[in-house]
């Protein structure tokens, strides 16, 4: 057997193997694919699975079907109150229409460049509508919601779905940072002084009202005490009068004891004559002089 037919057969087998290897292709679960012929998509979008194409004249372009991240370079923007703000933002997106995506931006690098333009434009426009203090303190969620919505609308024409745009950091440029912080500190100090002054005024009013109520309560208590004391004195006078009329000698005796208890204290020293009337009951009791 001649060797020439064997060579031809071998070449045919190799060509057939190469052709078969170039006919079938597999698309992964995390990917979608397009078959292009001379740069033009043919056959629609290919999902996960085994597919085939014409060998040598058609090529396969695969795209990641998962959510991807866009991380922009920090840039300086100007707020409504003319403050420079250095903003670093990111976004999450995915290829929602591979055919449109291929026809407009071709690949992920092209998509990142287009997203960079769109997101920067929207962030700049939205931040320009707010003052710095609003961006930092209160309005950031609303701003990012508006930026996400507008970015998604603009990116849809490129077969891109943008699900979220966020600001990672929003810093003042170093040159302006100290001046802005100093002004914010002065503003907060002014407000603190205002609140402290208002608080002191309220405290003075409260103290004045409390002093007034204390004075009224003390005056009322003194009046009631005087009344009670007067009633007590009157009652005592009546009792003394009754006792005097009933037994004058016993009355004089009890009054003397009362005088003793009032006159003689623990450390008092009195120099009195033992013949005085004050000691008549002591003499009568036979106590030593």
pLDDT digits (tens, 9 = 90+) for 243-275: 778 777 777 777 777 777 777 766 767 676 767
Q: Is the pLDDT score of 82 beyond 70?
A: yes
Q: What is the predicted pLDDT for the residue at 104?
A: 94
For 129, residues 6+ apart whose C-beta sits below 8 A from its C-beta are 80
Look-up of token digits 């929602």: 96
Q: Is the pLDDT score of 102 beyond 90?
A: yes
**Of 75 and 179, which is predicted with more confidence?**
75
> Which of helix, strand or coil describes residue 257?
helix
Q: Based on C-alpha coordinates, what's the Rg of the chain?
A: 53
Q: For 150-192, how does the pLDDT look when each residue is reduced to its tens digit (9 = 90+)?
A: 999 999 999 999 999 998 887 777 666 677 778 888 999 999 9
Q: What is the predicted pLDDT for the residue at 7?
A: 74
d(CA 134, CA 277): 96
Q: Is the pLDDT score of 100 beyond 90?
A: yes
Tokens describing residue 269: 């020293």
* Among 107-116, 178-187, 194-203, the least confident range: 178-187
Residue percentage of the chain with pLDDT more than 70: 85
Mean pLDDT score, 237-245:
81
With cut-offs at 50, 70 and 90, classify the pLDDT of residue 74.
Answer: confident
CA dihedral 264, 268, 269, 270 (to 10 degrees): -40
Mean pLDDT of the chain: 85
Q: Is the pLDDT score of 237 beyond 60?
A: yes
Q: Is the pLDDT score of 286 beyond 60?
A: no
Q: Residue 147: how many CA atoms within 13 Å on its side-chain side?
A: 29
Among 43, 93, 45, 36, CA closest to 67: 93
Tell me the C-alpha to C-alpha distance, in Å, between residue 284 and each of 147, 209, 263, 267, 277. Answer: 114, 63, 20, 26, 11
Tokens describing residue 182: 């100093």
With cut-offs at 50, 70 and 90, classify the pLDDT of residue 284.
Answer: low
Measured on CA atoms in the order 87, 93, 95, 96, is the torsion positive or negative?
negative
CA dihedral 70, 73, 74, 79 (to 10 degrees): -70
* Among 13-22, 74-83, 141-150, 239-248, the least confident range: 13-22
Tokens describing residue 98: 């591979």
């Amino acid at each position: 057997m001649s060797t020439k037919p064997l060579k031809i057969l071998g070449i045919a087998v190799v060509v057939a193997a190469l052709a078969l290897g170039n006919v079938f292709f597999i698309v992964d679960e995390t990917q979608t694919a397009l078959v292009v012929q001379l740069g033009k998509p043919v056959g629609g979008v290919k999902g996960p699975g085994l597919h085939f194409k014409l060998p040598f004249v058609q090529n396969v372009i695969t795209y990641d079907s998962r959510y991807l991240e866009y991380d922009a370079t920090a840039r300086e923007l100007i707020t409504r109150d003319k403050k420079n703000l250095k903003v670093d933002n990111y976004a999450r997106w995915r290829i929602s229409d591979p055919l449109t995506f291929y026809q407009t931006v071709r690949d992920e690098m092209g998509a990142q460049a287009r997203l960079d333009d769109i997101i920067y434009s929207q962030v700049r426009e939205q931040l320009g509508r707010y003052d710095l203090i609003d961006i930092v303190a209160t309005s950031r969620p609303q701003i990012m919601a508006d930026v996400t919505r507008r970015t998604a609308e603009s990116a849809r024409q490129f077969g891109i779905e943008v699900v979220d745009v966020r600001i990672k950091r929003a810093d003042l440029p170093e040159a302006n940072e100290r001046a802005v912080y100093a002004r914010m500190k002065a503003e907060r100090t002014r407000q603190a002084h205002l609140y402290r002054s208002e608080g002191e005024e309220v405290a003075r009013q409260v103290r004045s009202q409390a002093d007034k109520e204390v004075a009224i309560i003390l005056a009322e208590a003194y009046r009631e005490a005087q009344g009670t004391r007067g009633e007590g004195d009157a009652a005592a006078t009546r009792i003394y009068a009754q006792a005097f009329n009933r037994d004058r000698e016993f009355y004089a005796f009890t009054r003397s004891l009362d005088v003793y208890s009032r006159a003689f204290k623990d450390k008092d020293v009195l120099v009195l004559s033992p013949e005085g009337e004050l000691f008549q009951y002591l003499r009568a009791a036979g106590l030593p002089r």
